[in-house]
Amino acid sequence: MDIVSHIIIGKIISFFDKKNKRAGLWAMFFSFLPDSFQVFAYIYLGYINNRAFFIPKNIDWNHTRSTYPVLHAFTWEIPHSIFFLSLIILPIIIFFKLPKIAFFAYLLHIIIDIPTHAGEWAIKPFYPINYAINGTTNAWAWPIPMFFYSWVILLFISTLLSFISRKNHADA
């Protein structure tokens, strides 16, 4: 799934933390955090493929798991692992007393990525255990109009939940 969709989903789940107003920002941040490690691979692939502004094309991502296994492990496998979430992210959340919803936003990112990543991009949720769950599509490679439809649907859900939340708050 794309980063914008993950951020909107983070906003959606933030409506479930009614006690903490800043939780929404943390939920949105942690909902795209697993993909943020990809920035390094993104720039590198754009560079080695001589792309304008180091922006790789979708085809540049083909076979990166086998061609650049260390880069792939550090920017994709590890951040999308339940072990990384449990052993690194959770202690950071606890130490800095961040809202618990940040943990659930990160976890939800991994869960949502499972059906939306297939083939070489299948999620290995228990990495370094070499067990991948093959999804049904590579949503990150959709054409822009498909992203737009996804964003509209997610924004509609977010707006609806915002309206319900405000109505409930006004009635209380």
User: What is the DSSP secondary-structure string of 16-29?
Assistant: T--S-TTHHHHHHH
In a domain, 66, yes or no: no
Question: CA separation (Å) from 141 to 78, 83, 170?
Answer: 21, 27, 42
- DSSP of 52-88: GGG---GGGGTTHHHHSHHHHIIIIITTT-HHHIIII
pTM flag (> 0.75): yes
- The total domain count for the chain is 1
In a domain, 12, yes or no: yes
* Whether pLDDT at 17 is above 90: no
pLDDT digits (tens, 9 = 90+) for 118-163: 988 899 999 999 999 999 988 878 888 888 999 999 999 999 988 8
pLDDT digits (tens, 9 = 90+) for 98-130: 999 999 999 999 999 999 999 888 999 999 999
Domain around 114: 3-37+78-171
In a domain, 133, yes or no: yes
Q: What is the CA radius of gyration of the chain?
A: 17
Residue 139 DSSP symbol: G
Count CB-CB contacts under 10 A for residue 102. 26
Burial of 125 (0-12, 13-18, 19+ CB in 10 A): buried
Contact 122, 132 (CB under 8 A): yes
In a domain, 121, yes or no: yes
In a domain, 117, yes or no: yes
